[in-house]
Structure 1
Amino acid sequence: MPAKPEVDSLDRQILDLLIENGRRSVRDIAARVRLSPSPVKRRIERLERLGVIVGYTALVDEDRLGDTIEAFAEVRYSGSTDVESITASARSVPGVTAVFTVAGDPDALVHFRVESIQHLHRLIDQIRRDGNVIGTKTLMVLDSWRRGERRSAPPH
């Protein structure tokens, strides 16, 4: 495991601002942390070199794309299934957005974004066809919050 990089409270403030908005300008960050832009730019470049910042990404409103249903499936595998096989099996299913292997029961949490209940049904069936799956339990997401995510209030 690589050594933990030195990250001070100012680095943390910069990281929090970038997590909140990855397109935030160095000038804006500098004003918020009360430094000039040059040292902020150097700190960001250092955090990138150290691998603390591994990339920048866009947050997408999946509802606008038609994938309005979000769900998790708890998946249980036979005792002989290794972690890599669990991950590979779930990754091969289109519509799976993330796989979390966990200690305890269940063995994995599989995250989905789909357009309909029927679509989710087909994906759960596909996961169940893996010869090592011994059980599933599906959980539908009613609402969510994620750090750094900008969302309007849910409809009433």
Structure 2
Amino acid sequence: MSEDASPLRHFVRPNGCIQVTVELDRLDRDIIGALIADARSTYAEIGQQVGLSASAVKRRVDRLREHGAITGFTAKVEPAALGWTTEAYVELFCRGKTSPVEIGRAVARHPEIVSACTVTGEADALLHIRATDMRHVEKVIERIASEAFVIRTKSSIVLSRLLDTPLVMERNGSPRIG
């Protein structure tokens, strides 16, 4: 494979949307790993780490961004520094034929919900909430519970965060955490 070409894969998601993914080779994975470790690294610094020129790294990063493998570059911020000192996970139990799209639209209206996903098991969705205090968590849960499709919620408050690491790729291409 050339120094800046990886094949594309297409598949249809359960919701009918076509998802295009780029098949990552070892160099792509190494570049992504370097960016996860420090997104402020220069292309030359990354090139030294992975054995490519700065321009080859830039071409690969541009392609990975174009195809959605890299979705952005961001600062890692401690939530408590912004006043978000309390967090909870909330299971949503929804009426019969509530679609993931409907759930997604509703939860997107709540800035305290930092992630949401549909899940297997009894619940239909799992929400991750960050808030300023317990009363704030309670208000968010009350707002969520008032959505027309919500039958009930089940909440768990986070007491302490034991592990919170980004996904990093091993040199052999398998994912690892840390």
**TM tier, shorter chain?**
0.7 to 0.9
Cα distance change of structure 1 residues 88 and 14 upon mapping to structure 2, 3 Å threshold: same
Instruction: Report the aligned-residue RMSD.
Output: 1.8
Report the Cα distance in structure 2 between the residues aligned to 1:62 and 1:29, rounded to whole angstroms. 29
1:2: how far off? 4.6
Report the Cα distance in structure 1 between the residues aligned to 2:20 and 2:142, rounded to whole angstroms. 42
- AA aligned to 2:84 is D
- 4+ runs of 1 displaced by more than 3 Å? none
* Secondary structure, counterpart of 1:11 in structure 2: helix
1:82: how far off? 1.9
Report the Cα distance in structure 1 between the residues aligned to 2:60 and 2:99, rounded to whole angstroms. 40
- AA aligned to 2:74 is T
Report the Cα distance in structure 2 between the residues aligned to 1:54 and 1:41, rounded to whole angstroms. 15
Q: Does 1:51 align with 2:68?
A: yes
Unaligned runs of 5+ in 1: 149-156
- AA aligned to 2:46 is I
1:12: how far off? 0.7
Q: Count residues in correspondence.
A: 148
Show the counterpart of 1:5. 22
Q: Deviations over 1:93-151 (max 9, x none)?
A: 23112211224421111111111001001111111112221121112222041216xxx
Q: TM-score, normalised to structure 2's length? A: 0.75
Q: 1:14 aligns with which of 17, 31, 49?
A: 31
Q: TM-score, normalised to structure 1's length? A: 0.84
Bigger helix fraction: 1
Show the counterpart of 1:88. 105
Report the Cα distance in structure 2 between the residues aligned to 1:114 and 1:71, rounded to whole angstroms. 8
1:3: how far off? 4.8
Bigger strand fraction: 2
